[in-house]
Amino acid sequence: MHIVIAYDKDGNIFRIAKVHHLPKDIPHPFADLTKEHDVLSIEKPGDLQEANLLDIQRRFRVDLKRKKLVPKE
């Protein structure tokens, strides 16, 4: 399973999905993203696997340099 996160230029999460199978020719499930947005895919999400997606969006943001989730301050 993957957790796929769409975020803006400031690292704010605005879309998130759990995907059980992601075909190699489809990089992410968000077809309508613009160049101002990017996607982080977490392949083996560990503790996040059981988490509520809205809770992840509320509690975390993407660290742009490290390309990983970090708690919001």
Percent of the chain with pLDDT over 90: 52
Please report which helix (H) or strand (E) contains residue 40, including its range.
strand 38-42
pLDDT of residue 64 exceeding 90, the answer is yes
Please report which helix (H) or strand (E) contains residue 63, including its range.
strand 60-63
Residue 13 near residue 60 (C-beta atoms within 8 A):
yes
Work out the average pLDDT over 4-23: 91
